[in-house]
Structure 1
Amino acid sequence: MSYENIISEEINGITTITVNRPSKLNALNIQTIEELHRAISEASKSKTCKVIILTGSGEKAFVAGADISEFANFNVEQGTRLSAKGHDILYDFIENLSTPVIAAINGFALGGGLELAMACHFRVASTNAKMGLPEVSLGVIPGYGGTQRLPQLIGKGRAMELIMTANMIDAQQALNYGLVNHVTTQEELLVFCEKLATKISQNSSVAIAAAIKAVNANFKDGVNGYNFEIEAFGKCFETQDFTEGTTAFLQKRKADFPGE
């Protein structure tokens, strides 16, 4: 499948999807959001893809926000529809994807770009990365999940401060806050993420998918995360991956999971 604003490449079970609009600091326009949806959906359906890494092209930006020129003249109805569609086809879509998605933050991750990184299952940043939600400086609020995911990741007080001041934080502060899991040099960023992805790919994809759903269940209204975990745990016992995993353990060999 061909794309205009992104690059998607699968090697050894790892699909790297790169937002490729360097002249716009990889800002997200509507077309790019739709292309990301298609590329991530295609990767998740691949029988060989085990992990997705999401990053930006160049050395300056992961995704430096949304393309403001596209919605500067929107009315209430158009703005609401823009946010709702973004949630549906990209941000919530990534968060609930059964295939793990790692954000490799290689520079500015601002506004919709930070929201994109937060929708991923976890984040790794390069030392030059800067993160923030500057929307209130434009007279709007974060509209792609920022007001919800940022407090979940770093706590309500810190999230309130970042959102209300529109300040940026650097990679080390993001690490201290728990917004990112690791910080590396820019040169080592993708290599480090690929090592993590390889480690993940060696485990049961069926169990990982169930674990993603169980963790997310705790953050959904009206869902008891513990009960969801109990049911998901029980369902693992009927999978071929469980049979292979336990058999391999008892036979003291490395498991070869069928992914079923």
Structure 2
Amino acid sequence: MTREDAVQAEQSNGILVLTVSRPQALNALNRRILAELRSRLLQAERDDAVRVTVITGEGGKAFAAGADIGEFMDLADEQAGREYARHGQEIFAMIASLTKPVIAAINGYALGGGLELALACDIRCASERATFGFPEATLGILPGFGGIERAARLIGRSASLQLMLTGMPIDAAEALRLGLVDRVVAHDGLMREVLALAARMAEQPPAALAAIKECLGRGMEAEAALFGRLVVSDEARSRCRAFLEKRRR
């Protein structure tokens, strides 16, 4: 890890913390950051020492305050714009499909592409100071990294449309009420809370966590098939045996 990295990485006790490191631009997501997120997450997926990944932003102001608007101005034509959006969609879809849990620690602004990044994560924990929104319409564009569909699935069509059609930001309390985030905690205690949650997940068998994630969206048949595979595994047998022996004492 060097200070030149656009995404800082720290790993301990099965938890990988990835920090978007562009505080001078409120951690706006440019191509370099997206490429480094992709590389580090794919590496974590292959690394047995990593059980859970946390994504956050450097500094106390922003998780990620959108995509880099300056890069929009370099898009030469409609085809270039489409390819730019597809690239972001592919990376965020990869995040959503990882077998290992990914937690967003939202420590400030999560706007536009930054909110889309948070939505691609499995769990969203926010500082009480965090701010959320989709301001794209105010720029004459729309969320292009998969956020429209993910937001609608998470908080419903009407709530998503209100955020996107007005471009108005909301605070952490309203985001929690809508279900946009799962937890809101004191700003200074955010990483402590997130790391405690990640540690609890890291204690569980990786195969069970991966199977739970795989079942989402696949229906009860997949659930039954994966249950059947797991329940006869050595890991499950050992843990169930320990539970029963403890209960008999």
Q: TM-score range by the shorter chain?
A: over 0.9
Corresponding residue pairs, total: 245
Counterpart position of 1:226: 220
For 1:62, the equivalent position in structure 2 comes to 63
Q: Which residue of 2 aligns with 1:257?
A: none
Answer yes or no: is the 8 Å Cα contact 1:56–1:63 preserved in 2: yes
Partner of 1:158: 159
State the Cα deviation string for residues 199-255 of structure 1 (Å, max 9, x = none).
Answer: 11111211111101111xx2xxxxx512221222222134332222212212229xx
- The letter of the residue matching 1:9 is E
Among residues 82, 85, 95, which one is paired with 2:84 in the alignment?
82
Residues 92-111 of structure 1: pairs in structure 2 closer than 5 A: 92-111=93-112
Matched, 1:236 2:238: no
Q: Secondary structure at the residue paired with 1:124?
A: strand
CA RMSD of aligned residues (A): 1.4
Q: Residues of 2 paired with 1:207 and 1:112: CA distance?
A: 31
Distance 2:238 2:9 in 1: 32
* Distance (Å, rounded) in 2 between the aligned partners of 1:238 and 1:138: 54
Q: Secondary structure at the match of 1:18?
A: strand
Task: Deviation per CA, 1:67-119: give whole Å up to 9, x if none.
Answer: 1111224211111111111121x211111101100000000000000000000
**2 CA distance for matches of 1:251 and 1:92?**
42
Q: What TM-score, normalized by structure 1, do the two folds share?
A: 0.91
TM-fit CA distance, 1:52: 0.6
| Alignment of structure 1 residues 168-183 onto 2, 5 Å | 168-183=169-184
Between the aligned partners of 2:27 and 2:234, the Cα distance in structure 1 is: 41
SS at match of 2:170: strand
- Asked whether the 8 Å contact 1:133–1:146 carries over to 2, the reply is no
Identity of aligned residues (%): 40
In 2, Cα distance between the equivalents of 1:211 and 1:135?
Answer: 34
Which residue identity lines up with residue 11 of structure 1 in the other structure?
S
C-alpha distance in structure 1 between counterparts of 2:14 and 2:149, whole Å: 32
Aligned counterpart, 2:240: 246
Listed as ranges, the gaps of 5+ residues in structure 1 are 219-223, 254-260
1:182, CA displacement in angstroms?
0.8
Q: Matched residues in 2 for 1:186 and 1:42: separation?
A: 30
Match in the other structure for 1:123 = 124
Letter in 1 for 2:79: E
**1:7 and 2:8 correspond:** yes
Q: Does 1:16 align with 2:17?
A: yes
- Secondary structure of the residue aligned to 1:251 is helix
Distance 2:194 2:45 in 1: 18
Taking the aligned partners of 1:34 and 1:114, their CA distance within structure 2 comes to 18
Aligned residue for 2:53, secondary structure, equals: strand
After superposition, what is the alpha-carbon deviation per residue over 1:117-141, rounded to whole angstroms, capped at 9, x for unaligned? 0000010000110001111111111
Q: In 2, distance between residues paired with 1:170 and 1:19?
A: 21
Runs of at least 4 residues off by over 6 Å: none
TM-score by structure 2 length? 0.94
Query: For residues 77 and 66 of structure 1, what CA distance do their matches in structure 2 show?
Result: 18
Name the CA distance, whole Å, in 2 between partners of 1:169 and 1:226.
36
Partner SS state of residue 167, structure 1? coil
**Cα deviation, residue 42, structure 1:** 1.6
